[in-house]
Structure 1
Amino acid sequence: MGRQYPIILIIDDSKAFREFAKYSIREDIKFVNIFQASTGVEGLQLFLKYKPDVILLDWKMPGIDGLTVLEAIVKDDPATKVIMTTAYDDDQNLINDMMKRGAFSFVPKPMNRINLLKVIADALRERKNSKFYGQIIPKKIESV
């Protein structure tokens, strides 16, 4: 039996970013379950427990970094769409490495709400959640 609503996991050591992302998603996506983690370890635990459809994952965190978390997620469930984020976006080699390791997309910080929602919509569509896509993604985002 499939789940009724998509699950999004936000893994970021910045509470401000987690709240921004959660608020942005909740403003425009009517039916979604959102979980948050402030560390890579906590994020992996929530990933294993809930098997989210989409993950927003910060690269630079204390302890386990985002690339290590990304590799573990992709190894366990390659269909999970991981959107990498970081404020350190001037290193093209790092961005290329993220994509080679299985990231779905990269969005630099700071980001605007519309760009964030568009990449989440793309990830949900890629994840084959088309039954969710038509219900939850507002038309204004599709046209961006």
Structure 2
Amino acid sequence: MRRLLLDSNAIDPFADIPGAYEAAEKAVADGAYELIFTHVSIDELAEIPDVDRRQHLLLVMVALGRLVPTGATAADYSRVTWCRLVDDADVFEAVQSGNIDQTRDALLAATAVFERCPLVTNDKKLRKRATGRGVQVITTAELLAELGFDGGQVG
């Protein structure tokens, strides 16, 4: 089984491209893939101002994946019951790069390392910072291609 951690921006193509959700849903149901997410992605999607869009994306993510604790803890960002206290914060600190605005990204990268799985994100800056620290990162388009889906453009 291939496990993958979903960033919030990885959800849009599953919601927007006809057939993409169904392709992922089938791969998960067949046991070939396990998609996981953290409270970080929930928090980011919960900030979407359009209520219908926010609800739709949250439902897609929850239907496809499973909630796991973050692979590190950050004051004022981590949910106490959904984070892990770890001794090794190298990836977190490297991805955060001392910039508080990158804390959520750093939590995602640390979770990918802890969970020993790739991070699915369409954020080019996060991809660069995370891969520079040894985190495997793929885009939603790459994931859909793995699933054999070729039914449209993925942003």
TM-score (norm 1): 0.39
Higher relative contact order (CA 8 A, sep 6+): 2
Largest Rg, 1 or 2: 2
